[in-house]
Structure 1
Amino acid sequence: MRVVVFLAASLILSACSQPADRPANFASEEAAQVAPGASADSAEASAPAQAKGGAAPQAPLPVSIPMLAYSYDYAISAPPKAIRALVSRHEAACANAGAAVCQVVGSSVSEAGEDRVSGNLTLRATPAWLKGFREGLGAEAKANGGRLVRAAVESEDLSRQIVDSEAALRARTTLRDRLQGLLASRPGKLSELLEVERELARVQGEIDATQSELTMMRGRVATSQIKLTYESGSVLAPEGAWSPVGRALGDVADILAGTLAAMIRTVAVLAPWALVVGGLLWLFRRRLPRWGRKPKDAPKID
């Protein structure tokens, strides 16, 4: 017992006998010098600052990688006969990659005439597969007599939404666990138990909704969406000196066709009324005396 007291008193006296002008961060500096992860360059860089009495520079805070959702928009102009083949080929390429790599969101082809064909294709795929697919679009369009007329990319930063949703999910999960423990360990009145069960069901519903939102946002970050628009027309023809004449002739044909269509519609609208009005006039001429005609003179009797 006396030995223990003596050792405690010795420790207290040794602590009090330390010099007063010793820096407060001396222990931390010694620990930094003997730390296994410290490098010689960092020790030399911090030595001048410590000699001047300044604080050692702090390490930069880690920067998190932004979670971006990318979407691409491409337009291809090609001959009318090549539109349907391009849409089918791109859709088949996505299907052959597998559902885990690429998925077809939407596909359509419409025709407004033999020379007016358009199509739309929307895909969602992994960035690695989509990179190779996008790089080959221009060459594939050129091989089919077309060209790439638009290429655009947009991104949406979902970092804050994902972080906030994860924090809300952790808080609601903690609350759910507490409610479950309260329901299991503290039996009380029936009304109190029902109130706890209702609150537990509400919290569980919020947890499920938050998990669904997180799954959707993480899926948007893990995959990218690309929208392809296919158009046919005269945009592929090279522009020359006589191009305005060709466009003017095309306009003349459109104007003549529109005028003829308007005349046909006019005749179709007026023809029934002309028949009705003509029949009524003929009926009146038969029933009523002729207007402006003098009556015949009566025969003279000798």
Structure 2
Amino acid sequence: MLRETGLLLAAGLVLAGCGEEASRPVSGGVYEEYAMMEAEPAPAPPPPAARMQASNDAVSVSGSRVQNAEGAAEAAEGPLLAYTYQTSLELPADALGSTHEAHVQACQNAGPATCQVIRAQVSNADGPRPSAYLQLRAAPDWIVSFRAGLETEAEELGGQVLSDQTSVEDLTTRIVDTAARVQAQTTLRDRLQQLLETRDGDLSDLLAVERELANVQANLDAQASVLAALRQRVNTSMLTLNYQAERQVVEPQTFNPIGRAFKEMGDVFAESVASLILFLAGALPWLVIAVPVISGVIIGFRRLLRRRKAKT
């Protein structure tokens, strides 16, 4: 049993080396000793064609089947590419919202298997300068057909396509490598399960194999998820649409300051009159006292001047 265990663990570490990271070796001096004594030389890594062929198989992960890379034939015919499109549209303000809604509806009518709305947003819908945003993930054929009619649709509405960008990412290497890791982890998991089913050996040895099996299964689930995400990026394309309202030569908000000034003119005049009334109300008591005093001073000064003239 120990000899068989050592052989299986050594083979498992070699298979895991083809994957993302080698699984953690099972602890215990007996396992390590037999692994060093009995392990055969590690086989050479499979050629790219063999790795791609191995990735064509479907593997079982946590009870569900996950589709791997499509195999050597597809990879040999051409690279696995992920396309991303970005288009900016300038439309009349009164047509922007309805156009955005029509595009969302077109994606929904195609069905979730063909097109999915990732994000849809409309800003300042009732204002003079509305804007909108739409992000779709759809089948490449649907995306091509949809984009082909955008320019004509914009021109019919009195708008235009401001920009149209296409970016491509080659995912061939990542998909093939990830598929090989999934295959290696699957083989290692199956061998550990077979070893565990024999139920022969000490309890500590069986517990060590169970821990190793749990680590391998966790790595397998993670790699299968990454592979599924990469395959989705190849099988579908991402389209981002930005909508903005057409800028007018003279927009209504240009004369807003003048309109606000006329509207506030009455308030400013009333406040000024009120301030004057308050000032007069505060100064009136002082005027009652100051006027007689000032008048007396002026009369006395004039009399003094007359007397001096009379003496001279």
- TM-score, normalising length: structure 1: 0.59
Is structure 2 residue 96 aligned with structure 1 residue 83? yes
SS in 2 for 1:149: strand
Deviation by residue 1:162-210 (Cα, 9 ceiling, x = unmatched):
1110111111111111111211225211111111101101101111111
Runs of 4+ in 1 over 6 A off after TM superposition: 254-260
- Of residues 104, 109, 122 in structure 2, which corresponds to 1:109? 122
Taking a change above 3 Å as real, the CA distance of residues 116 and 197 of structure 1, as seen in their structure-2 partners, is: same
Corresponding residue for 1:229? 242
Match of residue 191 from structure 2: 178
1:24-50: CA deviation from partner (whole Å, max 9, x where unpaired): xxxxxxxxxxxxxxxxxxxxxxxxxxx
Structure 2 residue 163 is matched with structure 1 residue 150: yes
Q: Distance in 1 between matches of 2:198 and 2:260?
A: 84
1:205-220 to structure 2, matched below 5 A, reads 205-220=218-233
Cα-to-partner distance string for 1:62-94 (whole Å, 9 max, x where unaligned): 945111100000011111111110111111111
Q: Identity, % of aligned pairs?
A: 41
Answer yes or no: is 1:95 the counterpart of 2:93. no
Tell me the SS of whatever aligns to 2:158: coil
**Equivalent position SS for 1:227:** strand
Q: In the TM superposition, what is the alpha-carbon distance from 1:114 to its structure 2 partner?
A: 2.6
Alignment of 1:74 with 2:87, yes or no, is yes
CA distance in 1, matches of 2:259, 2:170: 52
Cα distance in 2 for partners of 1:250, 1:118 equals 17
Q: Deviations over 1:86-137 (max 9, x none)?
A: 1111111111111111111110111176311000011111111111100000
Aligned positions, number:
205
Find the partner of 1:138 among 123, 126, 151: 151
SS at match of 2:79: coil
- C-alpha separation in 1, matches of 2:214 and 2:108: 41
Amino acid of the residue matched to residue 181 of structure 2? A
What secondary structure, in the 3-state scheme, does the structure 1 residue paired with 2:124 have?
A: strand
Q: Would the aligned equivalents of 2:140 and 2:236 in 1 still touch at CA under 8 Å? A: yes
> SS of the residue aligned with 2:130?
strand
Separation (CA, whole Å) in 2 of partners of 1:233 and 1:124: 27
- Whether contact under 8 Å (1:115, 1:233) holds in the other structure is no
Give the equivalent residue in structure 2 for 1:204: 217
Task: Work out whether residues 79 and 170 of structure 2, in 8 Å CA contact, stay in contact via their aligned partners in 1.
Answer: yes
- Unaligned segments of structure 1, at least 5 residues: 1-61, 236-242, 283-289, 294-302
